[in-house]
Amino acid sequence: MKKLSFILVVLCCILPFTLHAEDINEQQQTYKDLETFANVLTLLQQHYVDRIDTNAVMIGAINGMLSSLDPHSSYLPPDDFKELQEETKGSFSGIGVEITIRDGILTAVSPIEGTPAFQQGIEAGDQIIRINGESTKDLGLMEAVKKLRGKKGTKVTITIHRPDRQELKTFTLVRDVIPLHSVKSMELGPGLLYIRITNFQATTTRDVRKALNKALKKQALTGVVLDLRNNPGGLLDQAVKVSDIFLDKGVIVSTRGRNPDQDMVFEAHHNSDSFSFPMVVLVNGGSASASEIVAGALQDHGRAIVLGTETFGKGSVQTIIPMPNGAGIRLTTARYYTPSGDSIQETGITPDMIVPFQEPAKESADKEPRWNIREKDLPKHLTNGDRKKIEARNTSGQTEKEQQKIKQRLARDNQLRTALIILKSLNIAGQTTKDAHKQQPKDQSRRK
Catalytically active residues, by annotation: 289, 300, 314
Write the DSSP assignment of 151-175 as a string of letters: STT-EEEEEEE-TT-SSEEEEEEE-
Helix (H) or strand (E) holding 279: strand 279-283
Which CA distances in Å does 258 have to 50, 186, 292, 316, 335?
A: 43, 43, 22, 12, 10
Determine contact, residues 89/202, Cβ cutoff 8 Å. yes
- Residues written for the chain: 448
- Smallest CA-to-CA distance from 412 within 370, 354, 363 is with 363
Determine contact, residues 159/134, Cβ cutoff 8 Å. no
User: What contacts 409, CB < 8 A, 6 or more positions away?
Assistant: 416
Q: From CA 334, how far away is CA 331, in angstroms rounded?
A: 9
**Maximum Cα–Cα distance across the chain:** 121
Kindly tell me the burial class for residue 409, based on how many C-beta atoms sit within 10 Å of its own C-beta (0-12, 13-18, 19 or more): middle
Determine contact, residues 175/150, Cβ cutoff 8 Å. yes
Q: What is the dihedral of CA 359, 360, 365, 368, to 10 degrees?
A: 140
Write the DSSP assignment of 315-383 as a string of letters: -EEEEEEE-TTS-EEEEEEEEEE-TTS-B-TTT----SEE----PPPPPPTTSPPP----GGGSTTPPP
